[in-house]
């Protein structure tokens, strides 16, 4: 989610559209498929042992995680701002036979948020080059409020650029686990079960070997 796209087609030099829907529509319009369709490995690691229930996947993109969850018995609400991404997610869910277990909703999370409480709320790679100050914090706090009693909040975020990136943007701040927990302001009904940085091998689109670091925060709300 932190790929940088350079100049967009409408002739503006180096200016990204500030509207999230416009930005992400442009992002997905550039290729027929952006993501692999596979679930995020850290989601798999953290969720495999949880009993299936209801799940909210924020920023579901092309649906790899939502489909994986549905295949394991979860009833999933997948949310994204990009109608193009949601269309692809629905195609993937249909092809894998789990469309009946997933509700896809389009939200600009700065403006609207899905209804209800969920046994699992996932916010993965919730970075955007077009976010305004404080938007991510507000959205993640709102995500914590959508967790049902006994449920789990799972936040997976990039912790820095991959080592193979030769010209990373310097204006992007990657909050650490402590910072994420600080702005979540979780009260004593919550138990932080995990807050760690995971560094794994990563290969650039051009085949350069390196590593990338992501951090994982998993917190459980008292039943």
Size of the chain, expressed as the number of residues it contains: 223
* Nearest CA among 61, 87, 93 for reference residue 75: 93
Tokens coding 51: 């009993």
Beta bridge partners of 198: 214
Where is 85: in which H helix or E strand?
helix 83-95
Superfamily for domain range 20-221: Vaccinia Virus protein VP39 (3.40.50.150)
Beta bridge partners of 211: 201
* pTM recorded for the entire structure: 0.80
- What's the gap between Cα 66 and its chain centre? 11
Give the number of other Cβ atoms within 10 Å of residue 154's Cβ: 26
Contact 184, 201 (CB under 8 A): no
Computed on alpha carbons and rounded to an integer, the radius of gyration of the chain in Å comes to 17
Q: List strand residue ranges (DSSP E) for 125-208, in order.
A: 147-158, 190-203
Q: What residue ranges do the domains of the chain occupy?
A: 20-221
Per-residue pLDDT of the chain (223 residues; tens, 9 = 90+): 444 333 333 443 445 546 666 665 665 566 665 555 578 888 999 999 999 999 999 988 889 999 999 999 999 999 998 888 899 999 999 999 999 999 999 998 888 999 999 999 998 766 555 556 678 888 899 999 999 999 999 998 888 888 888 877 777 777 788 888 988 999 999 999 999 999 988 888 888 899 988 889 999 999 9
């Amino acid at each position: 989610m932190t790929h940088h796209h350079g100049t967009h087609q409408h002739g503006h030099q180096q200016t990204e559209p500030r509207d999230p829907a416009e930005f992400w529509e442009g992002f997905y319009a550039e290729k027929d498929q952006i993501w692999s369709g596979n679930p995020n490995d850290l989601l798999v690691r953290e969720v495999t042992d949880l009993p299936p229930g209801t799940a909210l996947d924020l920023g579901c993109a092309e649906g790899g995680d939502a489909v994986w969850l549905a295949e394991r018995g979860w009833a999933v609400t997948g949310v994204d701002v990009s109608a193009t991404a949601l269309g692809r997610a629905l195609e993937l869910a249909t092809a894998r036979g789990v469309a009946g277990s997933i509700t896809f909703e389009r939200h600009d999370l700065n403006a609207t948020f899905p209804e209800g409480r969920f046994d699992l709320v996932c916010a993965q790679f919730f970075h955007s080059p077009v976010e305004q100050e404080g938007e991510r914090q507000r959205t993640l706090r709102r995500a914590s409020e959508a967790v049902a009693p006994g449920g789990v909040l799972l936040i997976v975020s990039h912790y820095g650029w991959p080592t193979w990136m030769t010209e990373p943007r310097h204006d992007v701040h990657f909050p650490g686990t402590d910072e994420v927990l600080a702005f979540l302001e979780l009260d004593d009904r919550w138990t932080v079960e995990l807050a760690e940085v995971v560094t794994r091998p990563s290969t650039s689109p051009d085949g350069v070997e390196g590593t990338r670091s992501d951090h994982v925060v998993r917190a459980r709300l008292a039943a």
